[in-house]
């Protein structure tokens, strides 16, 4: 379990292939900088998250409870709950498909 000023990630399963966790992020709180391998996500509550990428770009993700999706590996970023309620979601990371930083030119 990780606690970062309003964020809790509870491990649900961990193997050579996957890492599954339940993530809770309180309203207004922000995660530390991190990456993800390819992953599946599932919203347990309505979610309104702003993603701040290390390169300065930002995106907003709004999901209703029970919405899900898949993502390619994610570059370094933080997540901020910009909604007015606690956001809860599941993430299943595929360890065999990690984020790989682009090679310098």
Neighbour count for residue 36 (Cβ, 10 Å): 20
Unique residue bearing structure tokens 């919405």? 67
The Cα–Cα gap between 88 and 5 comes to 15
CATH number at residue 35: 2.60.120.10
Range of the domain at 57: 2-63+75-94
Task: Tell me how far apart the alpha carbons of residues 50 and 58 are, in angstroms, rounded to a whole number.
Answer: 7
Which bin fits 81, alpha (ψ -120 to 50), beta or left (φ > 0)?
beta
69: in domain: no
User: Going residue by residue through the chain (105 aa), what tens digit of pLDDT does each one get?
Assistant: 445 567 789 999 999 999 999 999 999 999 999 999 999 999 999 999 999 999 999 999 999 999 999 999 999 999 999 999 999 999 999 999 878 888 777
Q: How far apart are CA 25 and CA 34, in angstroms?
A: 15
The verdict on residue 33 lying in a domain is: yes
Has residue 103 been placed in a domain?
A: no
Say how many domains are in the chain.
1
């Amino acid at each position: 379990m990780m606690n970062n000023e309003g964020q809790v990630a509870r491990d649900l399963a961990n193997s050579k292939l996957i890492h599954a966790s339940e993530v809770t992020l309180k309203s207004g709180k922000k995660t530390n900088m991190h990456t993800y391998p390819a992953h599946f996500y599932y919203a347990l509550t309505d979610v309104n998250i702003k993603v701040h990428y290390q390169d300065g770009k930002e995106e907003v993700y709004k999901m209703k409870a029970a919405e899900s999706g898949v993502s390619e590996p994610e570059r370094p970023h933080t997540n901020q709950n910009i909604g007015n309620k606690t956001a809860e979601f599941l993430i299943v990371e595929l360890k065999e498909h990690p984020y790989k930083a682009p090679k310098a030119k």
